[in-house]
């Protein structure tokens, strides 16, 4: 909660307060035996001169064994951080305080220990007492106000800070606390007066102008807010807190041009972390309309980051993503290629170049960068897979299988091994399709062997289940097994038109035509009638059911989508089949 912020801040003074007091502070008159005094003195010598905390603690504890009411020893255990935990420190601090309540240092140590243990309700009366005993100590006002706020007594906290101001004048930190409390209690006008007074007292402090600007913004007096921001910028135009406040102000007013102008200044500051710069830029570019309307300023920000952080991987990616988002794919590719010379070499740059070149269908270029990358990263499985993919696209099917089998050596999960064996099976099938009848049968067997290994590593490899099922349906064999695989693929990925097409086609091959029609109708609808293969298959099923007119309609749609004209013409020449009666439905 926000009111804990003040408490957290005050804890920072815990050790410093003790350091100021220390053992050198005036101690109460000793009432103990000489032995306790001697052990206490030796303990301090061990701590201060010999820096031996273990020996110092031991001697102080011996002093307390001689006299359990010897307050200086309790106090020394606390102030030298010799208590083993916060709870023990509190016990020691309380014992010192109870033995001598008149000692201000013991009193202060007890209050600090209560804070450290988050016992704020008990700390409140202690700090009231401290404030009364030493009304010139600003720390007591600050802590007391924070405790009142924690205790949900904001008006008492404000009164405490007013009292400090009357006694010792304005103090920047206490004024800040007071403004916070005034805003919290909806006393905006008083907060405004407080901010104006600080500006008047310290006109050359930018932060006071910023506070006043923020309050004007809360009240909706934007012109006065802008005026105060301008004053703050005149004092220090590189102050990050000022710039961040201005950015929020302009963003709240939807003045995005001004907000991006301020952001540019923030990006130029070294103290503004790069991680936050990247996050802010990604936030800007996540909204397409904002990106489009402010493209030139955003491009300027991206370019600025490349100047300040030319080799940082986050910035390299950010700038490339920016280029891709703006439709400059070639420029993004060029940008990544310039960074292939970075040392140490970055694998991700090569992979991205390979992906873009593959997307642009430049297999020769893909091959070049795959080879370069493999010389630098010979153990990277992604590169061996990329090599297999490019060889496959270039028609080097044997080479593709070799690359995939190299990749298997680096696969460290069953899921990945299954994926690779599935790709090997696909290559064998493609090789068989490109070969004569005899070789086709041989490669088909190799394909099914690879698929079997893939399913051994991962029985739910959807692509393998679907492809194997479809290829079996084309072969017209083991159709029951093919149907089980297709059904499993649809269970794993429901409402997928491609997998539904496979299952429907197998049902068609099994002469379960009505089931095939229902499933294919759903697949075509889900696909939006975009796939020419699905349209062709639906036409074939309708033809088999004797619905010639609708069959020809879907064949023509397949033709319109780019299906081979000769195949469609051959379909149109098929003799009509007598329309079959719907399958008898079972009675419930």
Residue 18 has pLDDT above 80, yes or no: no
Q: Which residue has the higher pLDDT, 583 or 373?
A: 373
What are the angstrom distances between the C-alpha of 477 and each of 321, 389, 482, 511?
48, 30, 8, 14
pLDDT of residue 576: 83
Q: Distance of alpha carbon 302 from its chain centroid, rounded? A: 20
pLDDT of residue 204: 87
Least confident of 23-37, 343-357, 486-500: 23-37
pLDDT tens per residue, range 182-205:
667 777 777 777 778 878 878 888
Q: How large a percentage of the chain has pLDDT more than 70?
A: 90
Residue 16 has pLDDT above 60, yes or no: no
Per-residue pLDDT, averaged over 287-299, amounts to 92
pLDDT-derived band at 307, boundaries 50, 70, 90: very high
Residue 447 has pLDDT above 50, yes or no: yes
Contact 484, 472 (CB under 8 A): no
Highest mean pLDDT (candidates 42-56, 197-211, 244-258) = 244-258
pLDDT of residue 6: 40
Per-residue pLDDT, averaged over 373-396, amounts to 89
Per-residue pLDDT, averaged over 306-324, amounts to 94
Q: For residue 2, give both structure tokens.
A: 């926000």
pLDDT of residue 344: 92
pLDDT of residue 300: 95
DSSP strands (E only) in 412-476: none
pLDDT-derived band at 139, boundaries 50, 70, 90: confident
Residue 7 has pLDDT above 50, yes or no: no
pLDDT tens per residue, range 538-567:
999 999 999 999 999 999 999 999 999 999
Q: Which residue has the higher pLDDT, 18 or 385?
A: 385
Helix (H) or strand (E) segment spanning residue 572: helix 565-572
Does the predicted TM-score (pTM) go above 0.85?
no
What are the angstrom distances between the C-alpha of 511 and each of 208, 504, 545?
84, 10, 10
DSSP codes of every residue in 188-220:
HHHHHHHHHHHHHH-TT-HHHHHHHHHHHHHTT
pLDDT of residue 22: 42
Per-residue pLDDT, averaged over 121-125, amounts to 89
Contact 507, 486 (CB under 8 A): no
pLDDT of residue 33: 60
pLDDT of residue 229: 92
Q: How far apart (Å, rounded) are the C-alpha atoms in residues 76 and 58?
A: 12
pLDDT-derived band at 581, boundaries 50, 70, 90: low
pLDDT of residue 10: 37
CB within 8 A of 302, min separation 6: which ones? Answer: 281, 318, 319, 322
pLDDT-derived band at 146, boundaries 50, 70, 90: confident
The three-point CA angle 272-276-277 to 5° equals: 75
pLDDT of residue 180: 72
pLDDT-derived band at 582, boundaries 50, 70, 90: low
pLDDT of residue 23: 43
pLDDT of residue 19: 36
Residue 158 has pLDDT above 80, yes or no: no
pLDDT-derived band at 100, boundaries 50, 70, 90: confident
pLDDT tens per residue, range 476-534:
889 999 999 999 999 999 999 999 999 999 999 999 999 999 999 999 999 998 999 99
Task: Tell the residue number behind the tokens 């000022």, with chain if given.
Answer: 242
Mean pLDDT of the chain: 85
pLDDT of residue 319: 95
Least confident of 13-22, 177-186, 393-402, 436-445: 13-22
pLDDT of residue 580: 61
Per-residue pLDDT, averaged over 11-32, amounts to 40
Least confident of 21-30, 120-129, 334-343, 345-354: 21-30
pLDDT of residue 65: 87
Q: Distance of alpha carbon 220 from its chain centroid, rounded? A: 35
pLDDT of residue 178: 66
Per-residue pLDDT, averaged over 381-398, amounts to 88
Residue 170 has pLDDT above 60, yes or no: yes
Least confident of 226-230, 434-438, 552-556: 434-438
Phi, psi of 365 (to 5 degrees): -65, -40
DSSP codes of every residue in 20-67:
HHTTTSPPPPP-S-HHHHHHHHHHHHHHHTS--HHHHHHHHHHHHHH-
């Amino acid at each position: 909660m926000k009111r804990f912020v003040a408490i957290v801040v005050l804890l920072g003074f815990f050790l410093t307060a003790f350091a100021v007091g220390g053992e050198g502070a005036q101690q109460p008159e000793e009432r103990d035996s000489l032995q306790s005094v001697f052990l206490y003195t030796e303990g301090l010598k061990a701590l201060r001169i010999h820096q031996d905390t273990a020996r110092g603690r031991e001697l102080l504890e011996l002093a307390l064994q001689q006299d359990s009411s010897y307050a200086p020893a309790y106090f020394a255990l606390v102030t030298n951080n010799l208590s083993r935990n916060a709870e023990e420190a509190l016990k020691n601090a309380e014992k010192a305080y109870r033995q001598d309540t008149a000692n201000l240092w013991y009193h202060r140590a007890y209050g600090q220990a209560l804070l450290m243990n988050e016992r704020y309700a008990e700390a409140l009366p202690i700090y009231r007492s401290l404030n009364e005993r030493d009304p010139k100590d600003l720390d007591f006002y600050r802590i007391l106000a924070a405790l009142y706020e924690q205790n949900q007594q904001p008006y008492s906290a404000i009164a405490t800070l007013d009292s400090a101001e009357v006694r010792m004048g304005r103090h920047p930190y206490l004024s800040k606390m007071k403004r916070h409390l005034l805003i919290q209690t909806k006393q905006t006008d008083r907060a405004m007066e407080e901010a104006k007074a600080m500006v008047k007292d310290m006109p050359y402090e930018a932060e006071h102008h910023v506070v006043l600007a923020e309050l004007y913004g809360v009240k909706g007096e934007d012109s006065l807010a802008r005026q105060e921001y301008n004053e703050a910028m005149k004092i220090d135009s590189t102050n990050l807190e000022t710039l961040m406040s201005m950015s929020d102000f302009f963003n709240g007013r939807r003045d995005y041009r001004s907000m991006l102008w301020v952001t540019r200044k923030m990006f130029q500051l070294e103290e503004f972390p790069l991680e936050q710069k990247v996050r802010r830029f990604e936030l800007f570019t996540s909204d397409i309309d904002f990106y489009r309307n402010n493209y030139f300023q955003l491009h300027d920000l991206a370019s600025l980051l490349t100047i300040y952080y030319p080799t940082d991987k986050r910035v390299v990616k950010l700038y490339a993503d920016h280029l891709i988002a703006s439709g400059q794919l070639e420029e993004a590719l060029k940008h990544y290629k310039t960074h292939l010379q970075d040392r140490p070499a970055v694998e991700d740059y090569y992979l991205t170049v390979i992906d873009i070149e593959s997307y642009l269908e430049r297999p020769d270029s893909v091959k070049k960068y795959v080879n370069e990358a493999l010389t630098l990263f010979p153990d990277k499985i992604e590169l061996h897979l990329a090599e297999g993919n490019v060889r496959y696209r270039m028609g080097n099917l044997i080479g593709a299988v070799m690359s995939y089998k190299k990749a298997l050596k680096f696969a460290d999960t069953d899921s990945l091994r299954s994926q690779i064996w599935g790709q090997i099976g696909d290559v064998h099938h493609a090789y068989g399709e490109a070969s004569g009848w005899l070789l086709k049968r041989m490669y088909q067997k190799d394909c099914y062997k690879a698929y079997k290994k893939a399913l051994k590593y991962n029985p739910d490899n959807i692509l393998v289940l679907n492809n194997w099922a479809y290829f079996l349906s084309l072969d017209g064999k083991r159709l029951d097994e093919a149907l089980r695989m297709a059904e499993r693929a649809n269970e794993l990925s429901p409402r997928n038109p491609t997998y539904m097409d496979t299952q429907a086609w197998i049902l068609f091959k099994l002469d379960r035509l009505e089931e095939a029609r229902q499933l294919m109708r759903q697949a075509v609808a889900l696909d939006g009638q975009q796939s020419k293969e699905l349209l062709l298959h639906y036409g074939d099923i309708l033809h088999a059911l004797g619905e010639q007119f609708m069959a020809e309609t879907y064949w023509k749609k397949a033709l319109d989508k780019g299906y081979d004209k000769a195949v469609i013409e051959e379909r149109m020449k098929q003799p009509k089949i007598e329309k079959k009666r719907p399958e008898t439905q079972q009675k419930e």
